[in-house]
Amino acid sequence: MIHNSFSFVFFGTPEPAVEILEALNAAGYAPALIVTNPDKPKERNLKLAPSPVKVWAVNHCIPVLQPRILTDLDFLYKLKAKSYQLFIVVAYGAILPKELLQIPRRGALNVHYSLLPKYRGASPVEFQILADDRETGVSILLLDEEMDHGGIVARKAVSVSPWPPTAPELRKKYNEAAGKLLVEILPAWIAGSIQVKPQDHARATYTRKIKPEDRLVRLEDNARSNYLKIQACAAWGTYFFAGREGALSFPKIRVRIKSAEFKDGKLLITRVVPEGKREMDYDDFLRGLR
């Protein structure tokens, strides 16, 4: 099934953006063009590797542009030459400049993983979990030149149980909801029958990229906060681990926490992978430190 009623460009880079592409494509909305980040060196051999979105585009025979600078005149000319009606932006990795936003007749729609104006910025999923905020959901906004600042086109609450999930689990739920929401609103948006609602900027909160110190689990800290860190930073896998466990005290070390739970007010770590070692029970790990 292919919809030929309008032509759009999809901007995106990582795997979560592919999930939105799949939802659009399954509903008959295939982009005419895909814009993604340039290929980047990967792993030890530093061989250039395409983004997941580029791989998807090539597999679906959709042309790809990979500009290094979004204001590049040749890139802008190629977009202006085709009369695209809409841009859809999902985790592209850069703020689209004014010159780009002015091209499509119906603007640029962006999927954001929070109920805006809360959690603007780079890491909304992780910071919602760190804040233990169960008012979760996705927003589709009309992009302007400021970060996550444009008017709201649609929002959808997403219920999550049990709470808290890991960040990858929450992002997957958000993608499922966002894909359905985009498909639902696209005909009305192209027809001009959806009214954009300005955000209440006074209520805006902001997030930043996750830093190594965000993944520091000090065992003497609040057990709930530590568990939220483990869930929020699950995509990185490695935690900087320090503190006291009973009579045992140890300096900061790198440990991959494979499984943990929060029960009866306590953080219960069950399986870990110490740096350079095999996966083991947490009790065995502690015995090895004594």
**How far is residue 63's CA from residue 54's CA, in Å, rounded to a whole number?**
9
Rg (CA), the chain: 22
pLDDT in tens, 82-109: 989 999 999 998 999 999 999 999 999 9
Single-letter code of the amino acid located at 44: R
CATH number where 197 lies: 3.40.50.170
Would you say residue 13 lies in a domain? yes
Q: Where are the beta strands (DSSP E) in 32-182?
A: 33-35, 40-42, 47-49, 64-65, 86-90, 108-112, 120-121, 137-142, 152-157
pLDDT in tens, 108-164: 999 999 999 999 999 999 999 999 999 999 999 999 999 999 999 999 999 999 999
The verdict on 218 and 193 lying in the same domain is: no
Q: Tell me the whole-structure pTM to 2 decimals.
A: 0.90
Lowest mean pLDDT among 74-88, 162-176, 177-191, 247-261: 247-261
The verdict on 193 and 264 lying in the same domain is: no
Among 206, 225, 243, the domain-final residue is 206
pLDDT in tens, 201-222: 999 999 999 998 889 888 888 9
The verdict on 88 and 61 lying in the same domain is: yes
The verdict on 149 and 196 lying in the same domain is: yes
pLDDT in tens, 244-266: 666 556 677 888 999 999 999 99
The verdict on 131 and 239 lying in the same domain is: no
Would you say residue 161 lies in a domain? yes
| Stretch (H or E) spanning 20 | helix 15-26
Query: Domain of 127?
Result: 8-206
**How far is residue 137's CA from residue 158's CA, in Å, rounded to a whole number?**
5
**How far is residue 142's CA from residue 148's CA, in Å, rounded to a whole number?**
9
The verdict on 235 and 161 lying in the same domain is: no
